[in-house]
């Protein structure tokens, strides 16, 4: 084990050991599960169109608030769609499982029975092809932003309505016909689900 790995392990262990102490303060932690729609912007560059089919997925989130207004969140999302390429030789579609992992700063402001919030952060998307043997799994860095509101159903249970946007470089799956077709694109993810505050 290298010195750097040892230091990282000690820091991570210390952070995990301190987490139960933080979470005992009522209302500082939240978990939620949401269903989302995935809508990718279709772009055209050098006459080649690139986009993806509309689809849906599931998003799981954990938030921790350092104060009444400021906090952080981590998310994991899963969806399935087909990446499309309008190539000169004909259209190409690659069905892919998509995994997203993001971390963001969250600002919220309580207003009676609901809590509006905004967020911004970074993360990554992994595109795992499921129907093209020659296609490779690819990861892409992403910027994430969004906003929404939590509507209190009880003191601890809430309904969350949210919009998230992800900006990233589109995948090519290392397929020869798609080489050089990657470009900056945008995915819109409106979602709704339930959460628990503790």
89-96 long-range contacts, CB within 8 A, separation 24+: 89/177, 92/175, 92/177, 92/178, 94/129, 94/131, 94/132, 94/135, 94/173, 94/175, 95/129, 95/130, 95/131, 95/132, 96/127, 96/128, 96/129, 96/130, 96/135, 96/171, 96/173
Q: What angle (nearest 5°) sits at the alpha carbon of residue 12, between those of residues 7 and 18?
A: 130
Q: Which of 9-13, 35-39, 59-63 has the lowest mean pLDDT?
A: 9-13
Q: Which helix (H) or strand (E) holds 8?
A: helix 3-23
Q: Which of 68-72, 121-125, 132-136, 162-166 has the lowest mean pLDDT?
A: 132-136
Whole-number pLDDT of residue 30: 97
The tokens describing 30, both together, are 């939240």
For residue 172, give the nearest of 198, 148, 145, 138 by alpha carbon: 138
CATH 3.40.630.30 fits 28-197, yes or no: no
Report the C-alpha gap between 137 and 126 in whole angstroms: 7
Report the C-alpha gap between 194 and 191 in whole angstroms: 10
Q: Is the pLDDT of residue 15 over 50?
A: no
User: Averaged over 183-191, what is the pLDDT?
Assistant: 95
Q: At a CB cut-off of 8 Å and minimum separation 6, what does 132 contact?
A: 94, 95, 173, 175
Confidence band, pLDDT 50/70/90 cuts, at residue 193 = very high
Q: Is the pLDDT of residue 168 over 60?
A: yes
User: Averaged over 98-110, what is the pLDDT?
Assistant: 97
What are the residue ranges spanned by the domains of the chain? 28-197
Q: Is the pLDDT of residue 82 over 80?
A: yes
């Amino acid at each position: 084990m290298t010195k750097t790995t040892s230091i990282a392990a000690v820091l991570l262990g210390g952070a995990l050991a301190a987490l139960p102490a933080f979470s005992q303060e009522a209302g500082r932690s939240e978990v939620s599960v949401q269903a989302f729609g995935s809508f990718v912007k279709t772009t055209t560059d050098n006459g080649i169109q690139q986009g993806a089919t509309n689809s849906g997925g599931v998003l799981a989130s954990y938030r921790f608030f350092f104060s009444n207004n400021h906090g952080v969140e981590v998310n994991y999302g899963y969806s399935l769609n087909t990446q499309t390429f309008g190539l000169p030789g004909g259209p190409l579609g690659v069905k892919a499982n998509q995994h997203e992992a993001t971390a963001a700063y969250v600002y919220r402001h309580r207003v009676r029975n609901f809590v509006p919030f905004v967020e911004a952060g970074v993360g990554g998307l992994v595109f795992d092809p499921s129907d093209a043997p020659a296609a490779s799994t690819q990861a892409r860095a992403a910027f994430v932003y969004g906003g929404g509101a939590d509507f209190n159903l009880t003191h601890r249970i809430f309904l969350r309505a949210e919009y998230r946007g992800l900006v990233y470089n589109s995948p090519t799956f290392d397929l020869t016909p798609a080489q050089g077709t990657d470009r900056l694109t945008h995915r819109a993810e409106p979602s709704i689900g339930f959460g628990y505050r503790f």
